[in-house]
Chains A and B, each alone.
Chain A
């Protein structure tokens, strides 16, 4: 069974631009979560989607948004990029809320 895939793996953007990251969960998994990892703040929860509905959102500004499609694939978007948005963005999928989350390889975003 294929694991969680994330595209692109690396991304370089400039301040003010916007970016869209994609995540394909493990087949059959309906829950997709996104996390931001930075050296200063560690791993922080962004949001979680289940069956196309956002069920939970972390403490991030409205510039961070996401969505989930009917095939469970998810995208997250960051608008008006700031230098502090440079991070590793990890996507994780699980069968439901009672199961372990499996992570993808991450997208490393650099904002210049």
Chain B
């Protein structure tokens, strides 16, 4: 079974600072994908970044980067130069590529950016 653990229920960061959101995962699968999603108060889940288990380089998408440490089974999200609009819930998720598409989510981290 797959499991995602996000140990930070809430984080408060000053605007323009960098922030790291922690995510550890557990799986026995060799081939899997890791995702980060942002959920504003409106409820919609917004895809941020993806990392495949066989990708050797850390994924980056604009201000978002994923610090992938396979041996430690961690997939932390780094947001550089945080903005007020980054305030939201952030979910780490994973899926196995063996079988049907199914995302397993962590409990989420509520990020608040202070001006």
Residues of A with Cβ closer than 8 Å to B? 31, 33, 35, 42-43, 45, 48, 50, 55-56, 58, 88, 90, 92, 94, 96-98, 100-106, 108
Output the least CB separation between A25 and chain B (Å): 12
CA distance A88 to B95 in the complex (A): 21
On chain A, the residues within 8 Å of B50 by CB distance are 100
- Cα(A55)–Cα(B45), bound, Å: 23
Q: Which residue of A lies closest to B93 (CB)?
A: A43
Closest Cβ of chain A: how far from B75's Cβ, in Å? 14
A101 touches B103 (CB 8 A): yes
The interface residues of chain A, by DSSP majority, are classed as strand
A97 to chain B, nearest CB (A): 4
In the complex, B91 has a CB within 8 A of chain A: yes
Asked whether B43 lies within 8 Å of A101 as measured between CB atoms, the reply is no
The 9 A-B pairs with the shortest beta carbon distances in the complex, nearest first, are A56-B100, A55-B100, A103-B45, A43-B105, A97-B101, A105-B44, A106-B43, A100-B50, A45-B102
Min CB gap B90→A, angstroms? 12
Do B101 and A101 touch (CB < 8 A)? yes
Nearest Cβ on chain B to A32's Cβ, whole angstroms = 9
Contact of B102 among A33, A90, A100, A105 (CB under 8 A): A33
* Interface 0/1 of B87-111, CB less than 8 Å to A: 0000101010101111111111000
Residues 67-87 (chain B) with a chain A CB within 8 angstroms: none
Q: A93: shortest Cβ distance to chain B, in Å?
A: 10
Contact A105 B43 (CB under 8 A): yes
User: B64: CB under 8 A from chain A?
Assistant: no
Q: Which residues of B contact A102 (CB under 8 A)?
A: 47
